[in-house]
Amino acid sequence: MFNTTAWNRLRYSLYAPLYDAVAERAFRRARHRSLDQVTWQPGMRVLLVGAGTGLDLPWLPRDVEIHATDLSPAMVRRIERRAEALGMDVQAAEMDGEALAFPGEHFDVVVMHLIVAVMPDPAQGLAEARRVLRGDGQLCVMDKFQADDRPASAARRALNALTSAIATDITRQARPLLEGASFTIEQDTPVMMGTLFRALLARPTRPR
């Protein structure tokens, strides 16, 4: 499969100058609806994984501590510029979402918008989100997902060989991925293109 960390770093560095023109308006409402599902409180420590150019920033409360990561240095520079333009204090860093350089149980909220379907190993990415999230924390995911109740068709899998290389995987299923990473889904809301794009709010599954 032509979907590796090195390839994603390269292609998103190339996409960075055009990313806002493609993604800002198209996903504005979906981002807002997804983040609106979070129960926000002042002083929360928030992590944006795969933050891109920082398009989530306008929809975040101003009284939380924000950390943003992205695999691409070009994207990180744009996060920093957007934060400055918005007058927000954001700690931005180049980082692989599958190997986060943060201690365990460090964040109250982890946001993963349009990244789960891009990661070479989404199970590892979600395991990292689970590791750095507090036991009572919230995971906010918004992405495109194959329906949970049926596998991808042969035609969809064939098309995915192309889409996963240049854009995104179109065969991933939200519920198996999140539950497999020990999350319990509390909200699952279609936000765009019927049920293709979904916003999910989940919490770490408590041991029985």
Better pLDDT: 152 or 142: 142
* CATH number for 132: 3.40.50.150
Report the pLDDT averaged over residues 125-154. Answer: 95
pLDDT of residue 160: 85
For residue range 66-84, list pLDDT tens digits in order: 999 999 999 999 999 999 9
What is the edge-to-edge ordering of all strands in the sheet holding 183-192?
A: 90-94, 65-70, 45-49, 107-113, 133-144, 197-204, 183-192
Better pLDDT: 44 or 164: 44
Phi, psi of 116 (to 5 degrees): -60, -35
1 pLDDT tier (thresholds 50, 70, 90): very low
For residue range 105-132, list pLDDT tens digits in order: 999 999 999 999 999 999 999 999 999 9
Q: Identify which of 119, 174, 178 has the alpha carbon closest to the alpha carbon of residue 149.
A: 174
Cα–Cα dist 85/104, whole Å: 31
pLDDT above 80 (res 162): no
Cα–Cα dist 120/54, whole Å: 21
Residues 6+ apart with CB under 8 A from 22: 15
Residues forming a β-bridge with 81: none
Asked if residues 38 and 16 have their Cβ atoms less than 8 Å apart, the reply is no
pLDDT of residue 157: 87
H helices present in 87-135, as ranges: 122-132
2 pLDDT tier (thresholds 50, 70, 90): low
Report the pLDDT averaged over residues 15-22. Answer: 92
Give residue 164's identity as a one-letter amino acid code: S
Total domains in the chain come to 1
Domain extent for 88: 5-204
Mean pLDDT is highest, among 21-25, 29-33, 152-156, for 29-33
pLDDT averaged over the chain?
94
